[in-house]
């Protein structure tokens, strides 16, 4: 799964990288090196044309991580819908409508996974060593995602804050070099496939999604400080000397 990631790029950087037409942000998000479920995150998406002769508009928005389907009775359902499995995303009721026409890209510097080591703690449980997984070239990671709009029943229909925008990360089996750390990983969308993936007038196509090519990502141990969501800062993604890692 993908349960934490880092996102430090500013809106203007993302606008250039993803060729954004419009920034739909009330204010920029604070850079975070410990993005956690229910946090607001950046999403690149395209809204359907409003007129027959118009084209889709590519937007950068802030959305809540943890997808809340439009039919949900309680927003808390999103707390357990931070990931959608590629194997079932096109069929599951919670995701299939979003997969059909509300797809997005979730920009990240990289993501974290925890590896159960042979070392044990005072209670006899395996110690888990966090790893940061990031593009070797330092580029942005365009994670495949879905987004939804949920109408808050406690707010008036004309209330501009009535609609909650939320998202989920699509995951797949990890490729061999990363599978030793965790058996799942986020799916990536290659740059040449961004247009097709984001186009709301096209049906969802699983063939547009691929695991990162072997060797494209690197993984290295980082401080266990990342295990606490209250910790945030660039030190969370600094490589940990191997002699300090649990192995």
Q: So which residues are the catalytic ones?
A: 2, 113
- Tokens 């739909």 correspond to what residue? 24
Nearest by Cα to 114 from 126, 105, 102, 122: 126
Nearest by Cα to 39 from 166, 180, 140, 207: 166
C-alpha span between 198 and 179 (Å, rounded): 28
Nearest 5 degrees, angle CA 240-CA 36-CA 229? 60
Name the helix (H) or strand (E) containing 101: helix 96-101
* Alpha-carbon Rg for the chain in angstroms: 18
Residue 94 DSSP label: T
């Amino acid at each position: 799964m993908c349960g934490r990631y880092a996102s430090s790029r500013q809106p203007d950087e993302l606008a250039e990288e993803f060729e954004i037409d419009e920034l739909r942000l009330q204010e920029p998000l604070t850079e975070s090196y410990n993005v956690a479920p229910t946090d607001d995150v950046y999403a690149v998406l395209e809204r359907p044309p409003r007129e027959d002769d118009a084209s889709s508009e590519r937007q950068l928005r802030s959305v809540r991580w943890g997808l809340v389907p439009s039919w949900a009775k309680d927003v808390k359902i999103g707390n357990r819908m931070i990931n959608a499995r590629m194997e079932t995303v096109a069929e599951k009721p919670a995701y299939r409508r979003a997969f059909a026409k509300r797809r997005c890209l979730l920009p990240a510097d990289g993501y974290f996974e925890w590896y159960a080591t042979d070392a044990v703690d005072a209670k006899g449980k395996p110690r888990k060593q966090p790893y940061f997984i990031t593009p070797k070239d330092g580029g942005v990671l365009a994670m495949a995602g879905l987004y939804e709009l949920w109408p808050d029943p406690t707010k008036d229909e004309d209330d501009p804050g009535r609609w909650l925008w939320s998202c989920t990360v699509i995951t797949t089996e990890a490729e061999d070099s990363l599978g030793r750390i965790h058996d799942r990983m986020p799916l990536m969308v290659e740059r040449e496939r961004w247009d097709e993936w984001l186009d709301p007038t096209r049906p969802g196509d699983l063939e547009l999604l691929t695991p990162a090519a072997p060797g494209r990502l690197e993984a290295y141990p980082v401080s266990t400080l990342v295990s606490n969501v209250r910790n945030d800062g660039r030190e969370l993604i600094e490589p940990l000397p191997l002699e300090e890692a649990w192995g």
